[in-house]
Amino acid sequence: MITYHTIQINDLDIFYREAGDPSKPTMLLFHGFPSASHMFRDLMPALANDFHLIAPDYPGFGQSSAPDHTEFAYTFDHLADIMTAFWQQLDLGAAYIYVFDYGAPIGFRIAAQHPDWIKGIVSQNGNIYQEGLGPKWADRQDFWDHPTAAKRDSYRTAFAPATIKGQYLTGTQAGVVGPDGYTLDIAYTQTPGYAERQLDLIFDYQNNIKLYPTFQKYLREHQPKLLAVWGKNDPSFIYPGAEAFTRDDARVEVDLLDTGHFSLETHASTIAQLILRYFG
């Protein structure tokens, strides 16, 4: 059974889902864009017999507080700080982390700063390598290097319903992805101030790439057990990013699935089986 909770972190309401027995190993699940913890709604029941599962919504996402971007810094450093405080307030101790998309720069920041907290890592299209950046990132680099208001506005298309549906459907077999996930994601785009806070994060993403060497150094020095589960048809974070983990960490398994970015929508049971086999 999944239960639903809210706690206060730095005057913010942080929503999270919880499942499993707290006496079992804990796994924190860090969601991606444009989703929230609901993306784990099928995976959590499949793992609940073996793990204590915690899936939070970041500030500005899902059911957590979403302060105006003029009053709250929507940066990945700040989101990682909030998630670090969340981890500490729940007194979770050492845990596994599951990182997807935006969850990777958040989770790897925490891992690099607190390596003793990390029992193992699942990276689902959670990139920390230049090799994993698809062709679209060249345009983003131009935006970061030469920002203008017009370029910033051009990224509002990232929140269009067709774009969000494409995150789920591109590279995935037709007819196997239900509409529930992308319908809820699209609904969240209608919340006040959504576009501005997400545009701030798109601009700040450049700082994640600058930290890739730090994240890779963490892997080389600490050699965590890591399972890279990748939708090999993902156009945003391409599969060489999964294979690159093996360069820095000898304890890596790479599994490429015949799907796109949101492979959980069609492969939750497969991913659960891989996790249970690799970390069991």
Rg for the chain (alpha carbons), in Å? 17
Question: Which residues neighbour 67 within 8 Å (Cβ) at sequence distance 6 or greater?
Answer: 12, 59, 60
DSSP state of 67: -
Residue bearing tokens 């069991």? 280
Write out the H or E segment, with its range, that includes residue 169: helix 161-169
Question: Which residues neighbour 104 within 8 Å (Cβ) at sequence distance 6 or greater?
Answer: 30, 123, 126, 127, 128, 208
- Cα separation, 19 vs 21, in Å, equals 7
> How far from chain centre, in Å, is Cα 175?
25
Strand 95-100 with 26-30, pairing: parallel
Among this protein's residues, is 261 annotated catalytic?
Answer: yes
> How far from chain centre, in Å, is Cα 108?
10
What single-letter amino acid sits at 109?
A: R
- The secondary structure of 100-140, three-state, reads ECCHHHHHHHHHHHCHHHEEEEEEECCCCCHHHECCCHHHH
* Six token digits for residue 75: 């940066």
The one catalytic residue in 38, 69, 261, 267 is 261
> How far from chain centre, in Å, is Cα 115?
19
Q: What is the chain's percent helix, strand, coil content, to nearest 5?
A: 45, 20, 35
Q: Which residues are catalytic?
A: 261
